Amino acid sequence: MKAMTMTQKILAVHAGLEYVYPSQLILSKVDMVLGNDITAPVAINEFRKIKSKNVFDKEKIALVMDHFAPNKDIQAAQQCKLCRTFAEENQISNFYDTGDMGVEHALLPEKGLVTSGDVIIGADSHTCTYGALGAFSTGVGSTDMACAMASGKAWFKVPSAISFNLTGKLNEYVSGKDVILHIIGMIGVSGALYKSMEFKGPGLKNLTIDDRLCMANMAIEAGAKNGIFEVDAITMEYLAKAGAGKPVIYKADEHAKYDEYYEIDLSAIKSTVAFPHLPENARTFDNMPDIKIDQVVIGSCTNGRLSDLIVAADIMKDRKVAKGVRAIIIPATQKIYLEAMELGLLKIFINAGCAVSTPTCGPCLGGHMGILAKGEKAVATTNRNFVGRMGHPESEVYLASPQVAAASAISGKIAHPYDLMRGE
């Protein structure tokens, strides 16, 4: 049998084929179909045009009201109502609304709804997040979502792949966010166009699941079809704790063909900031200009997990947000919100002068809860900084880790955590 990558093996099994090759068109079974309050209404309308009586499996569809929820206006309320009605009609088990929901790509792993070896599609580009758990996951259009809800299948063009061999260990105040910003800065926003970014190597043991979820989440920012990590003991421990389904582990064949090979020494990665207006505009603090900011957002499907809040709170403790800066903290799920409260993190944030929000994608996409005005600058732990991404087209978004974002909120300008923590 010919050699295949991790992604190709998963797709071959789900397509009922012994072997698949790059650019081959296949019809694959899916294990989970995801939609949110922006994309699902379009899919629901298309689903009704198909005149399918029911969804293919009420347990394998997830609808998460997270983008404009809690409802920001009448249109958002109508969209959520449409999803609510559809979920009731089809008895969809995994429907998550205000008070119960979270940011979708943090919520599904937390709920144990995705596992290693799965094929997952979602009408949201950051569905590639679940590759951190050894799954093939990718974003699709709402029409593809509609067809998958009816049939349980989706068409794919099999991607070629890029291999990233990770070695070493991250330094203090450096996280998975810095690694992926470094990689995107290195290969560019089209550097992995419609390819699978496959991560492996001895350095994996030094990356937490949260680091991996962040990195897989931003594979799309390099143009990738998906990002995927080799499954190891850290993955298995997380899946077991989340109560996920039985994992199926796929490892790339020894002679699998990759378009490119990269060696990434984690110990060489520095705190990194992506300047406007592309994630590839990555800079370290070796050449950081003095940039005054107006807003900081810590949250999103990229960096709103408990570990992110812990490191931010450690920096903000007994300090105050700089005058003229709005700092917005958004725990990614209700569970994370509760854990942060029990650990006293919310008290630290509020005492520092931050606003703490219920889970929402809001500011990341310029939806609500933190829109930027003309000329304003924000440091955000989100994943995109395109023109107008967080508000006015003449605003600016600087992507960074929770550590850098927290230090910047206190400093009033883009700042390295060392500047605060070591009293420099």
pLDDT in tens, 222-249: 999 999 999 999 999 999 999 999 999 9
Q: Are 282 and 404 in contact, with CB atoms under 8 Å apart?
A: no
Helix, strand, coil percentages for the chain (3-state, nearest 5): 40, 20, 40
pLDDT at 52: 83
Question: Residue 389: what pLDDT?
Answer: 95
pLDDT digits (tens, 9 = 90+) for 45-80: 999 998 888 999 999 999 999 999 899 999 999 999
φ and ψ at 395, to 5 degrees?
-95, 170
- What pLDDT is stored for residue 35 in this prediction? 96
**Predicted pLDDT at 336:** 97
Q: What average pLDDT does range 336-349 have in this prediction?
A: 98
- The pLDDT, as a whole number, for residue 419 is 80
* pLDDT over threshold 60, residue 424: no
At 1 the pLDDT is 62
Helix axes 142-151, 40-50, angle to 10 degrees: 50
In the chain, what percentage of residues exceed pLDDT 90?
94
CA distance 148 to 292: 47
What's the pLDDT at 241? 96
Q: Give the pLDDT score at 245.
A: 93
* Number of Cα atoms under 13 Å in the Cβ half of residue 396: 14
What is the per-residue pLDDT across 5-34, written as a single tens digit (0 to 9) for each?
Answer: 999 999 999 999 999 999 999 999 999 999
> Please, are residues 334 and 100 in contact by the beta-carbon 8 Å criterion?
yes
Angle made by CA atoms 352, 292, 284, in degrees to the nearest 5: 95
Mean pLDDT of the region 112-122: 97
Catalogue the E-assigned strands of 326-419: 326-329, 355-356, 377-380, 396-399
**In which residue ranges of the chain is CATH 3.30.499.10 found?**
6-266, 272-421
Q: In what order do the strands lie in the sheet with 282-284?
A: 282-284, 272-274, 396-399, 377-380, 295-298, 326-329, 355-356
Q: What was the pLDDT predicted at 40? A: 96
CA 6 to chain centre: 20
Assigned architecture for domain 6-266: 2-Layer Sandwich (3.30)
d(CA 312, CA 298): 8
Q: Beta strand pairing status for 195-200 and 226-229?
A: parallel
Res 66: pLDDT:
94
Q: Give me the percent of the chain exceeding a pLDDT of 70.
A: 99
pLDDT for the residue numbered 28: 97
The pLDDT of residue 417 is above 80: yes
Pairing assessment for the beta strands 272-274 and 282-284 based on DSSP bridges? antiparallel
* Contact present, 101 and 107 (Cβ < 8 Å): yes
Q: What is the pLDDT of residues 202-212, one digit of tens each?
A: 999 999 999 99
**Residue from 106, 118, 133, 343 nearest 237 by CA:** 133
The confidence band for 423, taking pLDDT boundaries of 50, 70 and 90, is low
CA distance 160 to 259: 7
Looking at every residue in the chain, the average pLDDT score rounds to 95
The CA distance from 166 to 206, in Å, is 9
What pLDDT does residue 198 have? 98
In the CATH scheme, what is the homologous superfamily, with its name and number, of domain 272-421?
A: Aconitase, domain 3 (3.30.499.10)
Tell how strand 153-157 and strand 25-29 pair up.
Answer: antiparallel
Read off the pLDDT of each residue in 109-114 and give the average, rounded to a whole number: 97
CA atoms within 13 A on the CB side of 59: 5
Pairing of strands 160-167, 136-139: unpaired
